[in-house]
Amino acid sequence: MTKYYLTTAIDYANGAPHIGHAYEKIQTDVIARHFRQRYDDVYFLTGTDEHGIKMQKTAAAQGVTPKELCDSNVAKFKECWDGLGISYDQFIRTTDVEHEEIVQKIFKKLQDNGDIYKHSYTGLYCSGCESFLNPRDLTEDGLCPDHLKKPEEVKEENYFFKLSKYKDRIIEHIKKHPEFIQPEFRANEVLNQLEHIEDISVSRSKESVSWGIPVLGDDSQNIYVWIDALSNYITALGYDPEKPSEKFNKYWPADVQVIGKDILKFHAIYWPAFLMALDIPLPKTILAHGWITIDQTKMSKTIGNVIAPKDVMETFELEYPDAFRYFMMVTAPTGRDGNYSDVDFKERVNADLANNIGNLLNRTLNMQVKYFDGEIKPEFITESDNEIAKAAISTVENVKAHFDKFEVAEAAQEIVNFSNIVNKYVNDTAPWGLAKEEKMLECAKVLYNVMESMRFIATMLAPYCPNIANDVYKQLNISINPCEVKLDSLKWAEIPAGKITEKEKIKPVFLRVDSEIAGASKKA
Ligand code: MSP
């Protein structure tokens, strides 16, 4: 039984989701769906981060309680993820009672072990990061480099965690396990940050932050958000310092934890230190993705360029989220920053999904009907030693190898490259010409190769475009869902002899997003 546990960052519930949040959830979903095609038991966790000063301030500004604010935003996140087909198994909220109780126990255990001490402190706090900043990391104007806001000077007595005690062990772990931080180029950044690491504040006074989990046995303090937030990855599984649950023992350590590059420090330094202090194994991989800009500009409420996934769905009247999911995954190499623009979106999905895949399938099925009445005879079935079959089979291996390194964009490119090969094959062999010359067996074999290729493409594409892939399967008269096909059982020449389709059943699986037919068919 192979298990695979993967998580996303939990989003701050002080606003509605935008395409940056969506980028991460889609990336994790594509990885989850791919590994479901390879492993027996994939468990996918996502959720929301609901405590802290940011939540408290936003709620106050809107005249609602923090819990009311969270409830209404959590509903928006869930609706958005459902609309995008995010196939999570569990949605954790840090206001879940079970989570809060275990966080208190975790804090207590760290105290009992001597990893937490009380200390008076003056520091610069950025509520955007929910973190104290080191003066060294500020911009020349004294602003937080990520949020471009002046941090607030805070003077308090807080609990501190002995992060510095774990510095050497973390450095050693990163150096010994190149797979721990992905993409690998980010590891150096973390090693540099580790050079300057100091103990960190893990609580705030209730006076300054009232919306948080109380420290057991100390009425004056609330647990500061990062211990609370990071612990979600284990509390969701029912971890308990006194008696870890079966589910925890089954799924932990996580196979991959997907996060944005801005919170890598918390996941590659704080999180391992907390886990070491609790004597829990570290996750296998922290995958840091890049950021999404809009028309090459950082998304921001002030600029007013924040886009939600539903804006894209509405602009292009998309029936399925597939094209949006696909575009987000190919907009940048995995780990690098990506950009969204309507023009790029249109060009990319029209080229790859409408022309390369949709048209090819449509043309092929139409020829199958025209020349063979939609019938595959046993002698049409080709062997797996022909060039197209070999390319299909090696594409599956390449896609798997990319996913093993979490190269989601690169794996998609392999699929597109293969579809280019198939398109070229059709143009070179010209089955319509073969039919004209009455070379019917040759023509039938070309069409069979293309239909088999389409089955391979749909199977590999299913994690990105589950609905379109399923429609391709339906067009090929295959009744199972491609998401449920195991890649290791994907063999050549499985489309059986018999009637595959008839004229009335042939439908385009993906129309160009700007075509008049697309608009008209959607409106009809
Ligand atoms: N609550 C913390 C994470 C705690 S994880 C234990 C947080 N929340 S967030 O809402 O600000 O961000 C959630 C995730 O969305 C982060 O991984 C962040 O990098 C990602 N993104 C937010 N804006 C983004 C873009 N514009 N582009 C891509 N991802 C971005 O941080």
Q: Is 370 helix (H, G, I), strand (E, B) or coil?
A: helix
CATH of the domain at 376: 1.10.730.10
Q: Which residue has the tokens 């602003």?
A: 143
- DSSP codes of every residue in 435-463: HHTT-HHHHHHHHHHHHHHHHHHHHHHTT
Dihedrals phi, psi of 119, to nearest 5 degrees: -160, 140
pLDDT at 517 over 50: no
pLDDT at 465 over 50: yes
pLDDT at 522 over 50: no
Question: Whose Cα sits closest to atom 10 in ligand 1?
Answer: 11
Is residue 469 within 6 Å of ligand 1 at its C-beta? no
Q: Which domain holds residue 435?
A: 317-505
Contact (CB, 8 A) for 121 and 265: no
384 is a domain residue? yes
- Cα(127)–Cα(34) distance, rounded to whole angstroms? 36
**Residue 329 neighbours by CB distance under 10 Å:** 22
Lowest-pLDDT range, 131-145, 171-185, 257-271? 131-145
376 is a domain residue? yes
Give the sign of the dihedral formed by CA 477, CA 483, CA 485, CA 488.
positive
pLDDT at 432 over 90: yes
334 is a domain residue? yes
Which residues are designated catalytic?
Answer: 18, 21, 126, 129, 144, 147, 298, 301
81 is a domain residue? no
Question: Whose Cα sits closest to atom 30 in ligand 1?
Answer: 20
* Angle (nearest 5°) at CA 44 between 41 and 47: 160
Query: How many helices (H) and strands (E) in the chain?
Result: 21, 19
Q: How far is the CA of 337 from the centre of ligand 1 (A)?
A: 13
60 is a domain residue? no
- Percentage of the chain lying above the pLDDT 90 cut: 88
Q: Using one digit for the tens of pLDDT, what is the confidence trace for 89-123?
A: 999 999 999 999 999 999 999 999 999 999 988 88
381 is a domain residue? yes
- Cα(319)–Cα(518) distance, rounded to whole angstroms? 10
With cut-offs at 50, 70 and 90, classify the pLDDT of residue 515: low
38 is a domain residue? no
- Nearest atom (ligand 1) to Cα of 12: 10
pLDDT at 518 over 80: no
Long-range contact set of residues 116-120: C-beta below 8 Å, sequence gap at least 24: 116/159, 116/160, 116/161, 116/162, 116/202, 117/159, 117/160, 117/162, 118/157, 118/158, 118/159, 118/160, 119/157, 119/158, 119/159, 119/160, 119/199, 119/201, 120/155, 120/156, 120/157
Q: What is the DSSP letter of 282?
A: P
Is residue 9 within 6 Å of ligand 1 at its C-beta? yes
Tell which residue, 251, 283, 246, has the closest CA to residue 268: 283
With cut-offs at 50, 70 and 90, classify the pLDDT of residue 127: confident
With cut-offs at 50, 70 and 90, classify the pLDDT of residue 225: confident
- Percentage of the chain lying above the pLDDT 70 cut: 98
pLDDT at 35 over 50: yes
Q: Using one digit for the tens of pLDDT, what is the confidence trace for 175-214?
A: 999 999 999 999 999 999 999 899 999 999 999 899 999 9
* Angle (nearest 5°) at CA 303 between 302 and 307: 105
Q: What is the 3-state secondary structure (H, E, C) of 387-423?
A: HHHHHHHHHHHHHHHHHHCCCHHHHHHHHHHHHHHHH
Q: What is the average pLDDT score of the chain? A: 95
**Could you tell me whether strands 41-49 and 11-12 are parallel, antiparallel, or unpaired per DSSP bridges?**
parallel
Which amino acid, one-letter code, is at 505? K
Is residue 360 within 6 Å of ligand 1 at its C-beta? no
- Cα(331)–Cα(30) distance, rounded to whole angstroms? 14
pLDDT at 425 over 90: yes
Report pLDDT for 523.
Answer: 43
Contact (CB, 8 A) for 482 and 338: no
How far, in Å, are 25, 53, 160 from residue 229 at the CA level?
Answer: 17, 13, 16
Q: Using one digit for the tens of pLDDT, what is the confidence trace for 309-355?
A: 999 999 999 999 999 999 999 999 999 999 999 999 999 999 999 99
Burial 492-508 (b: 16+ CB within 10 A, else e): beebeeeebbeeeebeb
pTM of the model: 0.95
373 is a domain residue? yes
Q: Using one digit for the tens of pLDDT, what is the confidence trace for 4-15?
A: 999 999 999 999
Counting the structural domains of the chain, the total is 1
